[in-house]
Amino acid sequence: MHKTSVTIAVVAPQEPFTFFGDFWEGVWSAAYELAPLGVQVNNILVESLDAELQAQSLEALLAASPDAIVLLPSESQRFDSLIERHARQGSPVVTVFNDAPLSGRALFVGPDYRVAGRLAGQMLESVLPPQGRVVALAGCRRNAHLEQQYGGFLEALRASLTPFTLTEYDTAEGLLAALNSAGFSFDGLYVGCSETPFLNEILRRVRRPARAVTFGLTDVTRPYLESGTLCAVIDSSRYYQGYLAMQKAYECVHARSLESRWVSIPTSVMLPAHATIEGQRASTYQVMETVLRQRTCQLQNYKQELDLANARLLRIAETDSVTGLLNRRRFDELVDEAVAGYNDGDSPVALLVLALDDAEGIAGLFGQRATEQAVQAVAAAIGAACRPDDILGRTGPAEFGLLLPQTPLALAQAVSDRIIESVSDARMAADPDLVFSVSVGLVWTPVHGRTGSELRSAALALPGKIEHFEELRKAG
């Protein structure tokens, strides 16, 4: 039964940053729509992304015990224990923006960071000169989301056909020191953490024409995008993060289980032309195109994986596990198809039947494993003597079939001669001195039958394959 009154506490910084204004606008839009359902919002404002103030707010909420909490955390792992305490009290916690869906959270609302990083890499790669030097600041705190984001960035660069060198900096201070050095230069700059307090100082030192990429269209990054210092900003809708976080928090109160713990927000590429309000509206179409490309790419990947899996299953179903040749079932099917396609006046469809001589003696002398080695060696020798269009299969423990489509009798005899010679050269590890031989028999259309079944029956009725072939040779 649904509760008639629901209280959702929202713990997040307030302005002056544009990001937080957009986020709160989304929160209040959702609150307005949820008000008829009895939803009340308890907004807990904290000054900037101050971890200590956020922790104090979460501690205080333990006593208030709201129905749900929306948290925009400053650090992804700092609040795990507090989040889990709220969850045990029955207050699900939804986190957003720079967090990751770790233990205790009901769910996470935010961008797919690996996709965002990949977009950054693709944008930077598209403007890099050959043999360019890329400088990267992975993130100011190396949080889980920054690691995923940087991983996507590296994936895009590694897939690039443009050669480059990469220099990584662990801290913003280290990058700033390099930028202040005389003669320091680069062809591409990646700044993975847009909320670093050093971002403004870093971007002020970027010389144009610039090839720099960062994340989040904020009060800090917007002027640099407008001026062209940044060639791109990878951005996601903060409004929808706030809006969906509220919607999902309400859903968590009433849902017994959630289908997913991750609600993904589309990620867009903001270019200098999009820095204005009109440009941002125009970029909405690009957001949808990006999402469509992502979904299409995912579907293509799924299809490729499915095709590969089906191909593997088909190979397993059609292949003899010892020799890698076609198994008897599949070989017989191909014989049936070849004979069914035969017409009077065509060259015959020939079927060679080959049996390893004294297979029982080899098994008795060396054992089952050595017999398999012998069969493998003979199979390889037969295959080496075949023509490209011939079809070879294992039709018994020590027997093989060779289908020769559209093959005159004299040519079939020549193929069998090559096989006999090739088999005599085969060796196995158990006894390198052992010389192999095979008994060979030949049947063909239309003399021995007009169906695959008739050809196979004729082959089985041969009095002795070696004797039969010697008689055939004399007759030929």
The correct CATH number of 6-111+238-265 out of 3.90.1260.10, 3.40.50.2300, 3.40.50.40, 3.40.50.1010 is 3.40.50.2300
- The CATH homologous superfamily to which domain 328-475 belongs is Reverse transcriptase/Diguanylate cyclase domain (3.30.70.270)
Fold of the CATH domain 113-236: Rossmann fold (3.40.50)
What integer pLDDT is reported at residue 476 of this predicted model? 42
pLDDT score of 51 more than 90:
no
Confirm whether 6-111+238-265 and 113-236 share one CATH topology: yes
Q: What is the pLDDT of residues 269-307, one digit of tens each?
A: 888 876 655 444 444 445 445 545 655 665 676 677 777
Peptide bond just before 209 cis, omega within 30 deg: yes
Measured distance between the N- and C-terminal CA atoms of the chain, rounded to whole angstroms:
91
Residue percentage of the chain with pLDDT more than 70: 83
- Packing angle of the helix pair 328-340, 277-318 (nearest 10 deg): 90
- Average pLDDT score over residue span 352-380: 84
Q: Which residues contact residue 46 at a Cβ distance below 8 angstroms, ignoring those fewer than 6 apart?
A: 11, 12, 13, 14, 53, 54, 57
Alpha carbons within 13 A on the beta-carbon side of 203: 29
pLDDT score of 166 more than 60:
yes
All structural domains of the chain with their residue ranges: 6-111+238-265, 113-236, 286-316, 328-475
Among 53-67, 234-248, 252-266, the range scoring the smallest mean pLDDT is 252-266
Residue in 107, 2, 9 with CA at minimum distance from that of residue 65? 9
Q: Which residues contact residue 156 at a Cβ distance below 8 angstroms, ignoring those fewer than 6 apart?
A: 117, 118, 119, 120, 121, 122, 124, 125
pLDDT score of 464 more than 60:
no
Q: What is the pLDDT of residues 184-204, one digit of tens each?
A: 888 889 998 765 678 888 888
